[in-house]
Structures are given as C-alpha cells and as structure tokens.
Amino acid sequence: MKKTAAEIYSECGEAFTLIAIAGKQDVTVTAMVAWEAAMGGDMVVVPDEDALNKVLATGVSLIVVPVGLEGKCADVMDKTAVITSNNPNLAHALLKQKYGDYDYTITGWDKVHASAIIHKTAEIASDVLIGPGVVVSEGVKIGKGCNIMANVVIERNAVIGEHVRIHPSAIVGWGSIIGNHCLILSQAILGSEGYGYAQDQKFNHYRIPQTGNVILGERVTIGASNTIDRGTHGPTMIGNGTIMDNLCHVAHNVKIGENCAIIAGFLCAGSTTLGDRVVASGGTMIKDHLNICGDTIFVHRAGIIKDVTEPGTYAGSPILPMKDYVVSNAIYGDLGSIRRQLMELEDKLSPVMGKMN
C-alpha cells in the first residue's frame, strides 16, 4: 500500500462513512495498523478521545476520527491528515477490507491444484481457485470469483454463488445452496444428516431419512466447526447477512432470519424459527419448535423454552426479561441473608406458636 491521504479519501468517501478531510492531504500512507501501534506512514482509526490523545504524538500519517474530535488535531495538521467519520467502527471495517485484508488469492500453486478431484459434470466459473485435495462432485455449480481452499468437499448437486470463500476442510453437503459473498470457515459442515429418529415400544431407534437441504442467503458467515443439519423434508435456512461465530449447531428445519448475530456455543433444536436481527450471545440454547420474534437479544447463557413474542433483551435460563433478571439475580445473591432472617424469626415465633397449639 502506498497512497496519499487525498487518494484514500477520494477512493472511499461517503460509502466508507468518511465525510471530511483536513490537514496534510498529500502525506503518504504505507500501512493500516491498530491505533495502539501507530507510527509514521501509518493510517489508524481511533474510537474515542483517549485513543486520539495517545496517537497524536506518534507522527502517524493519517488519522480517522469520530465527528467532533477533528478540532483536537489542530497541532498536527501540518504533517498529518485527518479524516472525519460518522461511524468510525464501520469505517475501520471497510478501510481494512480495502487496504489491510489478507490476500487469499495468492496461493502459491496453479489456479486449480493438480490433486483436486472434479467431476466432469461440474460447472465451475473460469476464475475459481481450487486448492489441494478438493473434491467437487457430480452436478455441482460454482459461480465466479470463488475460492475453494484445501481439502474442501462439495457434494453432489450443491450450488455455490459468486465470490464465496470456503476455508480448508469444510464440507458442503449434497443439494446445499450457498448465496453470493458468503464466508465458510474451516471444518464447518453444511448439510449434515439431521437428528431424526422414531422409536418402537422397546425404544429401538429408527432413522428418519433427512432429504431436505441447507440454504444460505447472501453475505452469510458460517464459523469454524459449525454444523448445520439438512431438513427432514424441506430446507434448513440461514437468512441474508447473518453471521455465525465458531462452534455453533443448527438442527434440521431451523430457519434463522436476516442480519442475526450468533455467538460461539449457540445450540438450536429442530424446527425453530428465529426472526430478523436476533442476537444470541455465547452459550445460548433454544428448544425445538419455537418461534422467536425479531429484534431480540439473548445474554447470560440464555435458555429459551417457549416462544418469544416481544422484542427486547432476555437473560438467564429459563429466560427472563432483562429487568426481571436483574431483580432476580439481586434476590438470589441475598438468599443467605434472607434465610438467616427467616430462621431468627422462626426461633422468636416458635414459643408463641407452641402456646397457640
């Protein structure tokens, strides 16, 4: 990277939440780094005034600041460029995607590695990168701009959209459909066999064939070592823009809405539906056949055992609305004192109760 601050501002502008530039606009920027490591030649994004105060003395070339902090930079304007953003966190993400991301297209081998096994019926765009040990089965379709990394298995009749990156050792099950601009991390399994069984009177288990599929919308992230089961008959679905952390499990016939944020350790039983913009913090567990409305937040290892019909924040297991959870926790923490008080009261009342009897 070697660009002037003016070039960066021109290339990115309002689409990157950048709204104004000041200071030494022809200064050269050679790298984007964390603000804690700032030095000459660097571009940094600062989240607040404390971070800015630490950066000002470093000789950094370009500082992206929140609206309202640009005036704090007056003393360095002669040697530093200052760009104002109305959403510094988003600016950081977009700028790093453009100027600081790892280039996964540099593989060190041919576009299609010689060890890859590709069925003759597979339809693969001409610019797709395919790494060592990849298996692409019959009837698979892969769109342009995809990067299929080492030892990925793509089973029969799966369809992968454009600009999808699948990290090493992931598995895309037969009939799965992946939308454009998705990210599948290592050892994720999409379309694993759903956990469906029937029992007889002796509790012998009989497998119910799981013949549905998995459908991902666009811009979906599936974290490392996630498992998403195929549906029994219809699909298991993950909506556009949903991001899933590592070590999550989604059972058969689950439907997760758009722009949800699912954190590590999430477990969702079968045939449950989540609305849009659901946030599930680490360790959230959801029972089967439930309906969770949109714009809900689950925290503190939430356990959901019944439908959630009102947006809001819920905590604990089983879940309580956040205000009730806080009160409940306060009472729980004082149970020892309450017990002692009750025992003292019982001692005082026992002679009186004895006379009454």
Element (H, E) at 197: strand 197-199
Is 105 a domain residue? no
Q: Are 226 and 129 contained in the same domain?
A: yes
Burial of 6 (0-12, 13-18, 19+ CB in 10 A): middle
Is 292 a domain residue? yes
Q: Are 318 and 344 contained in the same domain?
A: no
Question: Omega of the bond prior to 47 within 30 degrees of 0, cis?
Answer: no
Q: Are 156 and 297 contained in the same domain?
A: yes
Domain containing 332 equals 326-356
Burial of 3 (0-12, 13-18, 19+ CB in 10 A): middle
Q: Are 321 and 344 contained in the same domain?
A: no
Q: Are 174 and 63 contained in the same domain?
A: no
- Stated pTM of the model: 0.91
Dump pLDDT digits (tens) for 293-333: 999 999 999 999 999 999 999 999 999 999 888 888 777 77
Is 307 a domain residue? yes
Q: Are 40 and 187 contained in the same domain?
A: no
Q: Are 311 and 166 contained in the same domain?
A: yes
DSSP state of 309: -
Number of domains in the chain: 3
- 357 residues of the chain, pLDDT tens digit each: 899 999 999 999 999 999 999 999 999 999 999 999 999 999 999 999 999 999 999 999 999 999 999 999 999 999 999 999 999 999 999 999 999 999 999 999 999 999 999 999 999 999 999 999 999 999 999 999 999 999 999 999 999 999 999 999 999 999 999 999 999 999 999 999 999 999 999 999 999 999 999 999 999 999 999 999 999 999 999 999 999 999 999 999 999 999 999 999 999 999 999 999 999 999 999 999 999 999 999 999 999 999 999 999 999 999 999 988 888 877 777 778 878 888 888 887 777 666 666
Q: Are 235 and 277 contained in the same domain?
A: yes
Residues recognised as catalytic: 252
Dump pLDDT digits (tens) for 223-249: 999 999 999 999 999 999 999 999 999
CATH number at residue 41: 3.40.1390.10
Q: What DSSP letter does each residue of 95-107 carry, written as one string?
A: HHHHHT---TT--
Q: What is the 3-state secondary structure (H, E, C) of 17-59?
A: CEEEEEECCCCEECEECCHHHCCCCEEEECCCHHHHHHHHHHC
How many residues appear in the chain?
A: 357
Measured from the Cβ of residue 34, the count of other Cβ atoms closer than 10 Å reads 11
Q: Are 42 and 134 contained in the same domain?
A: no
CATH number at residue 145: 2.160.10.10
Q: Are 319 and 335 contained in the same domain?
A: no
